Amino acid sequence: MEVGKGFSKKAQEDLELIHRAVNLKDQQAYAQLMSRYRKSVYNIVLKMVRNVDDAEDLTIVSFAKAFKSLQKFKPDYSFSTWLFRIATNNAIDFIRKKKLNTTSLSSAYIDDNGDEVGMELEDPNHDPQELAIKREKIEIIQLFVSKLPVKYQKLVRLRYFKEFSYEEIADELDAPLGTVKAQLHRARELLFELIKGSKDHI
């Protein structure tokens, strides 16, 4: 794989990891990419949605979508730029849906190649393409949710697809709130593990 000219050392290493993940089906390469960027993606999303649990959910969605489309990645930009745009777009979709009051969309961040990446809020009206993207996200995550232990599947579907709050999930399942939170945390970690092993699941 040709390494992007002018990219930082880290960005060049990312391109090699992508090559290994896509062409060699190297599960460890997926894990390394997630390890490098999980915290950064989480922090970017957290600044936008201002909620720890929502940020964790959106981080999972971002990596699942990125790894699902990794074979389509073109090294015109660094991997971090591409990944961060996926993450911010997911967060923007979430903000639109929840109508959160936030000003962080006007800010920008610097990717690993030193480029400034802005967060632009486009026309809030839903169009067919946007609806198709939303359906794709659900389909992508559904692939991983179906591989979770049965006891976590309903919990995750209520949280991710029906967008229930923790309190609503606790009421629905007639379970203590603390139990719901603990089990959702464990379910998220299992989802991250499944996504890291993407070659076996996508």
Distance CA 7, CA 5 (A): 6
Q: Bridge-partner residues for 116, per DSSP? A: 110
In a domain, 2, yes or no: no
- Give dist(CA 54, CA 95) in Å, integer: 10
Task: Cite the beta strand spans of the chain per DSSP E.
Answer: 108-110, 116-118
Whole-angstrom Cα distance, residue 171 to residue 173? 6
- Please check whether residue 119 lies inside any domain of the structure: yes
pLDDT digits (tens, 9 = 90+) for 155-180: 988 988 888 899 999 999 999 999 99
pLDDT at position 6 over 80: no
Q: Per the domain annotation, does 3 fall within a domain?
A: no
Would you say residue 1 lies in a domain?
A: no
Domain membership of residue 186 (yes or no) is: yes
| Angle in degrees, CA 163, 132, 152, rounded to 5 | 35
Query: Would you say residue 39 lies in a domain?
Result: yes
Whole-model pTM: value is 0.75
| 162 to 14, 45, 125, 169: CA distances (angstroms) | 35, 20, 21, 10
Q: Per the structure, how many domains does the chain have?
A: 1
Q: Which domain holds residue 55?
A: 9-200
Pairing of strands 116-118, 108-110: antiparallel
Residue 20 resides in a domain: yes
| CATH number for the domain that contains residue 65 | 1.10.1740.10
Per residue in 109-144, pLDDT (tens digit) is 566 666 666 554 444 555 565 566 567 667 777 878
Tell me whether residue 4 is in a domain. no
Asked if residues 116 and 109 have their Cβ atoms less than 8 Å apart, the reply is yes
Per the prediction, the chain carries an average pLDDT of 82
| 135 C-beta neighbours (distance < 10 Å), count | 10
